[in-house]
Amino acid sequence: MGLHARPAALIVQTANKFPCDVVLLKDEQEVNAKSIMGVLMLAAAKGSEILVRAEGEQATACVEAIDQLFQKGFNEAM
């Protein structure tokens, strides 16, 4: 399963916990990770490579938190 509404919402909720600017990049496309529409517009299928980039206060913690969502499969049943 790809990046559908629930995982996208979890990314946005997590990103909004931090004061930094954070973007997701897939191929040539860059979107604001704090925007549900932006995250959904990535249309990332399972197995897609997504880069998380953050700048500003707590940027490292933000990237790590979003990475954990991906690592845990967004806590969805397989």
How far from chain centre, in Å, is Cα 44?
11
pTM of the model: 0.90
The active-site residue, picked from 1, 2, 3, 4, is 4
User: Is 4 assigned a catalytic role?
Assistant: yes
Residue boundaries of the structural domains of the chain = 5-75
Task: Name 22's bridge partners.
Answer: 54
Q: Where are the beta strands (DSSP E) in the chain?
A: 21-26, 29-32, 51-55
Per-residue pLDDT of the chain (78 residues; tens, 9 = 90+): 457 899 999 999 999 999 999 999 999 999 999 999 999 999 888 888 999 999 999 999 999 999 999 999 887 654
Task: Name 24's bridge partners.
Answer: 31, 52
Four-way CATH pick for 5-75: 3.40.630.30, 2.40.160.20, 3.40.190.150, 3.30.1340.10: 3.30.1340.10
